[in-house]
Amino acid sequence: MKRLIQLGLCLTIFNFHLIAGEIKGKIVSDDNSPIPNVNLILIGTKYGASTDLNGNFVISNVPPAKYKLQISAIGYETKVVEVNLFKTNYVELKIKLNQAPIEIQSIIVSAQKFQSQEDTRTSLINVEPKSAKMLPGAGEDVLRTLQSLPGVQAINDFSSQLVIRGSGPDQNLIVFDDVEIFNPYRLYGAISMFNPETVEDINLITGGFPARYGDRLSAVLDVKNREGITSNYISGNVNVNLSNANVILEGKTPFGLNGSWIFNSRRTYYDLILEPFVKSAGLVKGDFSFPNFYDFQFKTSVIPSRGHKLSLLAVHSKDGVELITNGRRVQPDSFGVVDQSFNNVYALSHQYSSKNISNKLIFSFYNNSGKTNFDSKFLDPTLNRKDFDGEISDTVYQYLLNFSFNSFFDFRKYSIEDRFLFFSGKSNFEIGTGLDLMYTEIKFDLNLDPQLRAILNSFSSFRSVIDKFKSNLDYWRFKLYGQANFPLNESNKIFISPGLRFDYYDILRKSYISPRIGLSYAIDDITTLRGFYGIFYQSPGYEKLRDQNILFDFSRKYSDDLQAEKAIHYILSFERFLTTEWQFKSEIYLKEFRNLIVPLKVKGTQFSTNLISGRDPKYVTSWTEPIAISADSMTAIPVNNSSGKSYGLEIFLAKVNKEKSSKLDGWISYSLSFSNREESGKIIPFRFEQRHTFNLVLNYKFIESLEFGLRWQYGSGLPYTKPVGIKPRILLKDTNGDGVGDTPEIATKFNLNPEAPKEVIFNIDYGVDPNFYNSRKPDYHRLDIRISYYSYFWKLNWLFYLDVINVYNRKNVVGYDYYINSNLQLERRETYQLPIFPTIGISVRF
């Protein structure tokens, strides 16, 4: 009897697998165009999928039953259809979704969309656009929203730049509607160019990105703007808060054309609100404006015939500030700055799609330019600023240092790219090619006070100061790649994605081949294991230096000897659904960096003096005559003389399937990361190495019209260089009258009495190279909340919200200002990041 029962169970299990069903189909819009990235969920189960670029989907190994299939996509009405797998084990559907305005209500604050088990991409996070709008403390900004995800950290509260898995912002590729963007930041990094009201898709790949993407070492952010609605000729949305206004207009294309258009514009008004207050307080004078920006974005898509789509994108933005400080300020410093920067994007694309193929041809132009005029007088940084509060510039002129510069840059890129995709069952193949023509111009003119130059030269590894720099450099890039995704066995449990990329960098006159491979294994219906190995290259270029805050000479005499920077990625990912809504994901990764470009170090000269035993260090007579010593000095010449490593563990728990009745959603992320750099045999921490990061994001809907959201973030301390002491400041004195310093002497304080003993001016001593990043700042943590209230009156949808950054007013240290007190002891002042900062806002859709 026991064997009969066992045999019966085996037959039952065998029969289940025989009759396990499959649901496949295609999702299209009103005009029968395929809709990619549609979420499909069998309600109440763990089964689901998302559509590919051709609108196709497959849900496999579904037990026989009656189901309700929920289909949802941004910008379309959600649809639910019934599926019966009792009658048949195979169902094929073609579902048409109707376009609809994006409602203010029913916001989904979800970390990511559903990723199919057939998708081999590791480190992929597909963010719901509304997360960027509703996440507490993110300022309705896409890049700041990404800073709450595993493997991603912020530089500080004032910047939207992304540090990903031990790599700097310059190593991230940012793509907007198929156009590579060099500078996506606005308001000097405070916010980004991406408007959360109009973004359709946000894909962040924190490592192991496919062969389509290249010329970067770390990560890819691919953002796509949505198309306008086609249900009305005009519709709109206005969002206003304390810092900016955001206007969106959209509708169906006129003149009988089958298509849509969307226009949006944003503008800050710090200059309109803060300027009158600051001017009346006497803190500034003359013609000035506070930092401000505006941008315009326009996109239109037209379908001239079945399967064809033409799209046009245009973006224009301007950032600017004009400021002259007044002598009535508490501090004696003064400065004047005039700064402007511009970004322009124009792109035209044609896409053809049929049942099994898709081809997209893109022409684009991108321009990023700007100019700066800066002039200042500021207090010697080695002095205690509090000792000079209330003093005017004229009374402390001997302690003020002059610093001024003028700069100009202009980066232009003309691009053509073509991508061809072929679909066959569960397999897809893609080949693509592209050409970029780059035109870059940089001008830089610097004037330094001799005392300030001496302070800078006191750093043992400080770059030799470049007073003037001018470069006009034109170069081009070519790419050719192929990638595929297909099953390795008949059970469709194992998928492989091989890829190969060829790049030619004219700036180096060299070519590179990058192999990449991804693998996914469906352990069961709710558990997926993924792995990746790949090689990545990044060419040098002035367009990448904005994120490095460094200047290299990439003229031919130096670039011909350079190699492209190289990174090798190893990634292993584990993913499992804990319930039908909550998904657990963990990844381990290793990145090896090679041929990193750093400034060439040459043997230079520094001057040293020693304290005479038993003497008072306060006076110049207590020190020996300065003598020349050999020391390394950095230049602007680029060399491949650095390497590095980054490795870590990431854990992510997120609600990826949210039913409409659900009240709670959000995510939890934790990252453990180690990263370093090696140069000339010395290993130092990466300057943004944050060992531990934790994020908790929750959103709770009390009632249909009231939601509460919170975000708590924690990060362990970032490295910084702690000074080791003080040393006399040494200047070069001009003794022969030729205007060039030639004789070293110890700098002394000004004294009206020529008979008084001369007192030494000291510099802060930061030690030599091994001392770099020898300490850690305090841990960072902060709580942000957001309360949202929805209403409907005057036949309009309204949203009223309160957003509070840093609720408990944590004083997070961004840096330290060291100074020397009267007893010749080092002291420091902390500079802090954002304090508690509330914002109220209103959004209305018409």
Tens digits of per-residue pLDDT, 142-188? Answer: 888 899 999 999 989 888 889 999 999 999 999 999 999 998 987 77
CB 74 within 8 A of CB 113: no
Is a pLDDT exceeding 50 seen at residue 286?
Answer: no
Quote the CA–CA distance of 576 and 455 in Å, as a whole number.
Answer: 56
Q: What are φ and ψ of residue 200, in 5° steps?
A: -105, -40
Closest CA to 60 of 390, 397, 473, 528: 528
Q: Which of 320-334, 446-460, 522-536, 740-754 bottoms out in mean pLDDT, i.e. has the lowest?
A: 320-334
Q: What is the CATH number of domain 2-96?
A: 2.60.40.4130
Quote the CA–CA distance of 143 and 635 in Å, as a whole number.
Answer: 34
| The predicted structure's pLDDT at residue 83 | 83
Mean pLDDT value across residues 526-543: 94
Half-sphere exposure for 33 (CA within 13 Å, toward CB): 21
Tens digits of per-residue pLDDT, 550-577? Answer: 788 898 899 999 999 999 999 999 999 8
| The predicted structure's pLDDT at residue 395 | 56
Is a pLDDT exceeding 60 seen at residue 392?
Answer: no
Tens digits of per-residue pLDDT, 612-655? Answer: 998 999 998 999 999 888 877 778 889 999 999 999 999 999 98
Closest CA to 248 of 230, 261, 259: 261
Is a pLDDT exceeding 50 seen at residue 203?
Answer: yes
pLDDT mean across residues, the chain = 83
Residues, the chain: 846
List, in sequence order, every residue forming a beta bridge with 316; answer none if it has no partner: 296, 344
Burial of 191 (0-12, 13-18, 19+ CB in 10 A): buried
List, in sequence order, every residue forming a beta bridge with 480; answer none if it has no partner: 433, 502
Quote the CA–CA distance of 208 and 569 in Å, as a whole number.
Answer: 6
| The predicted structure's pLDDT at residue 105 | 38
Quote the CA–CA distance of 42 and 61 in Å, as a whole number.
Answer: 12
Q: Which residue has the higher pLDDT, 306 or 438?
A: 438
Q: Which residue has the higher pLDDT, 5 or 351?
A: 351
Quote the CA–CA distance of 233 and 253 in Å, as a whole number.
Answer: 7
Q: What is the band of 9 on the pLDDT scale with cuts at 50, 70, 90? A: very low
Is a pLDDT exceeding 80 seen at residue 391?
Answer: no
| The predicted structure's pLDDT at residue 771 | 74
| The predicted structure's pLDDT at residue 511 | 98
Q: Which residue has the higher pLDDT, 77 or 59?
A: 59
**List of residues 6+ apart from 490 with CB closer than 8 A:** none
| The predicted structure's pLDDT at residue 53 | 66
| CB-CB neighbours of 704 under 10 Å | 9
Mean pLDDT value across residues 203-225: 94
| Domain boundaries of the chain, sorted by first residue | 2-96, 235-724+770-809+819-845
Name the fold adopted by 235-724+770-809+819-845. Maltoporin; Chain A (2.40.170)
| The predicted structure's pLDDT at residue 273 | 57
Is a pLDDT exceeding 90 seen at residue 15?
Answer: no
Mean pLDDT value across residues 88-117: 62
| The predicted structure's pLDDT at residue 628 | 85
DSSP string, 509-540: TEEEEEEEEEEEEEEETTEEEEEEEEEEEE--
| The predicted structure's pLDDT at residue 469 | 79
| The predicted structure's pLDDT at residue 7 | 42
pLDDT > 90 fraction of the chain, expressed in percent and rounded: 38
Mean pLDDT value across residues 231-246: 81
Q: What is the band of 109 on the pLDDT scale with cuts at 50, 70, 90? A: very low
Whole-prediction pTM? 0.85
Mean pLDDT value across residues 525-545: 92
Please tell me if the domain spanning 2-96 has the same topology as the one spanning 235-724+770-809+819-845.
no
| The predicted structure's pLDDT at residue 18 | 43
> Hey, what are 47's tokens?
């089964």
CB 635 within 8 A of CB 552: no
Closest CA to 804 of 841, 764, 777, 776: 841
Q: Which residue has the higher pLDDT, 13 or 198?
A: 198
Tens digits of per-residue pLDDT, 175-196? Answer: 999 999 998 987 777 788 888 8
| The predicted structure's pLDDT at residue 96 | 84
